[in-house]
């Protein structure tokens, strides 16, 4: 359920939060969707592999804004040394999602939302939301990784792409500006709900539901 509900919804809120703060990122994602899909139909599953920048936005959100601070605890079944750290048998081991994704030894400008860091112009493969090298955690990894990561990936990219394609997003004029210049990113969740102004950007016949 985390893969198909909590993770995608967390990405939606934080991705829109970051993209509204940086309109150039939002415009680049919108332009990509307009180029690949157009404005006469909604994004379909077959389009997702071509929406590389949108996928990079989702991946960057997973890195910077994990759905939980830690993974579920594990217990060491024997004495073991990993990367020079001795872990005695019976120890509880907690993996910090925030610590991995914001590690300055791994990520350049770790507290900055930069989707382009995940783009590889030399690769024909679409950007993957799963991180096998454990530089951050999206849907977990390893032998006991989340079995729903493929479904969660498709749902996450589809939701984000359709929200970006279908609506213009901006801050309401009567709402205090989203000023996070002092944000230290120690918290995983927004302290207050994200309030945005939404306007349709497609022709009325494109939307499947009529008011």
Confirm if 60 and 113 have CB atoms less than 8 A apart. yes
- Helix, strand, coil percentages (3-state) for the chain, rounded to 5, are 40, 10, 50
Structure tokens at 132: 């096998």
- Residue 76: name the closest of 63, 89, 59 by CA: 89
Distances (CA, A) of 64 to 36, 52, 113, 144, 178: 27, 18, 7, 23, 17
* Residue 146 marked in a binding site: yes
Query: Which residues participate in the annotated binding site for heme?
Result: 146
Query: Which residues participate in the annotated binding site?
Result: 146
């Amino acid at each position: 359920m985390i893969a198909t509900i909590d993770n995608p919804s967390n990405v939606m809120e934080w991705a829109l939060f970051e993209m509204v703060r940086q309109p150039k990122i939002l415009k680049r994602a919108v332009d990509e969707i307009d180029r690949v899909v157009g404005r006469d139909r909604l994004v379909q599953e077959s389009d997702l592999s071509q929406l590389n920048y949108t996928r990079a936005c989702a991946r960057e959100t997973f890195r910077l804004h994990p759905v939980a601070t830690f993974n579920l605890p594990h217990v060491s079944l024997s004495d073991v040394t990993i990367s020079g750290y001795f872990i005695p048998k019976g120890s509880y081991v907690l993996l910090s999602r925030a610590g991995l994704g914001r590690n300055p030894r791994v990520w350049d400008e770790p507290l900055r939302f930069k989707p382009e860091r995940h783009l590889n112009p030399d690769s024909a493969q679409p950007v993957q939301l799963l991180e096998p090298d454990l530089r951050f955690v999206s849907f977990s990894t390893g032998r006991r990784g989340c079995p729903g990561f493929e479904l969660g990936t498709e749902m996450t990219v589809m939701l984000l792409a359709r929200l970006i394609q279908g609506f213009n997003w901006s801050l309401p004029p009567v709402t205090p500006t989203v000023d996070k210049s002092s944000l230290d990113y120690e918290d995983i969740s927004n302290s207050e709900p994200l309030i945005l102004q939404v306007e349709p950007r497609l022709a009325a016949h494109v939307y499947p539901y009529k008011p």
